[in-house]
Structure formats: structure tokens, C-alpha cells
Amino acid sequence: MTSTRDIALLWNSLPTLHRWGGAHHAKLGPLLDRPQLSSGYFAALITTPLQRALRNAPDRATVAQARPDQEFFCFRLGELRLAVPSENVLEVLRAGLLTPLPRTPAYVMGVTGHRGEVLPVVDILRFLGKGEARIGPRTRLFVGASGAFVAGVVADAVLGLKRFYVSDILPPPLGGDSAAEHLLGVVQGASASEGFSLLNFPKLLQTARQRAVAR
């Protein structure tokens, strides 16, 4: 698109053309009538200011750089608002009857049948030392996986999938409890009750399995 500056430069060249065609026409008329000059010469006079203006015009960025983000599966458990990377979540189920297992850590609530397999069910509150989950009519389990490790995780409410800008993810608080070692970071919300703690789910699942096997 031609800018106002381009039009001004072109307009300022017109008086010069007028003088060439007026008082000096009688003297230069034969020269101007030559085909090789009458078109090319005036074309150069007209286009040169426009070309110069376009060449000197600054480039304008039309597309903002994309900010990298990551998708998380968000849920509530007790007073905690937690999230795990969505690639670690396979599906969400209604919590059914659990069969307790003897000689297992307290955070292993039991096992349930799922697609012909025995699925251990983990209480993240107990694992992190933040309380104890309760199974009720609205309780959900999400099937989480990391490599060959698969487990059901209790959730009081599923809050859906959310995308967070990587630049908005803050490191875990320094000097926190042992739960901080299983966090990727935290995302602050509009208020203190709207943020999320982002779980390092592969590490959490691996540690939970190692502790259960070691007993």
C-alpha cells in the first residue's frame, strides 16, 4: 500500500515535470519527442522517489511471535488444585469399588479392574503428606501413565484441560516441604485460590512404585 510519504514525494516531483513541459519545451521539444526519452526518462523521474521511499520504509512485523505453552490436565483433590501434563493422562473413570492390598503403603488405596487389567489406585494427598482422599459418589479416577507404569489417581473434581504459557510457570517454592520435589512448578491465578501446582507426574509415579515394591 502506498503511504502518505510516498504520495508526497511523488507530488513534489510534478512541478519539475511541468516546468520541463512549459517554458523549456520549445528548446527541448525535439529531444523530448524521441521515443527512447519521452517515456523512459519521465518514468524514471516519477518512479525513483517512490522506489526510494519504499526502499527506506521500515519493515513492519505483521505476526506476533508465538509464546510456547503446554497443556495440562487439571483437577481438585481436597484443598489442592493440581495439574499433570496431558500426555500422561489416558482417560477418566468413575471411582468404583476398590480391593485393599495388604502390606502396601497407605497412599495405595487398593486396586480396581480396568480393561481386563488390575489397576492400582493412588491417593496423592497421602503420598504428598497433605491429608487423605475420600471416595464418594462424585469421585473420579484418571488413568495416568509414564512409560510402562500405569495407575489410577483419585480426583474430587475434574477441572478440564488448560494451556499455560511456559513463561508463566514459576519454580516450586524454596524451603517448602518434601512435596516440592515432585512439582514441575506453580501457576498463579487471579487469586490465591485459582492457581495450580503442576506435578512432575513421571517422577511421582516412579517414586510411588519404588516405595511400594520396597515394602
- At 182, which CATH number? 2.40.50.180
- Quote the cell numbers at residue 110: 487398593
122 plus 41 within the same structural domain: no
Q: What is the pLDDT of residue 50?
A: 57
Mean pLDDT, consecutive 10-residue stretches, the chain (215 aa), reads: 47 43 45 48 54 65 72 97 98 93 94 93 95 93 94 97 96 78 92 89 94 81
96 plus 172 within the same structural domain: yes
Q: What is the pLDDT of residue 170?
A: 95
Distance from the Cα of residue 135 to its chain's centroid: 34
98 plus 195 within the same structural domain: yes
Q: What is the pLDDT of residue 190?
A: 81
The answer to whether residue 173 sits within a structural domain is: yes
Q: What is the pLDDT of residue 24?
A: 44
**Gap between the terminal Cα atoms of the chain:** 74
The answer to whether residue 190 sits within a structural domain is: yes
The answer to whether residue 61 sits within a structural domain is: no
187 plus 160 within the same structural domain: yes
Q: What is the pLDDT of residue 193?
A: 79
pTM of the model: 0.68
130 plus 45 within the same structural domain: no
The residues that bridge with 94 in the sheet, in sequence order, are 140
Q: Are 182 and 164 in contact (CB under 8 A)?
A: no
127 plus 31 within the same structural domain: no
**Dihedral over Cα of 34, 40, 45, 46: its sign:** positive
Q: What is the pLDDT of residue 44?
A: 53
Range of the domain at 154: 69-214
111 plus 140 within the same structural domain: yes
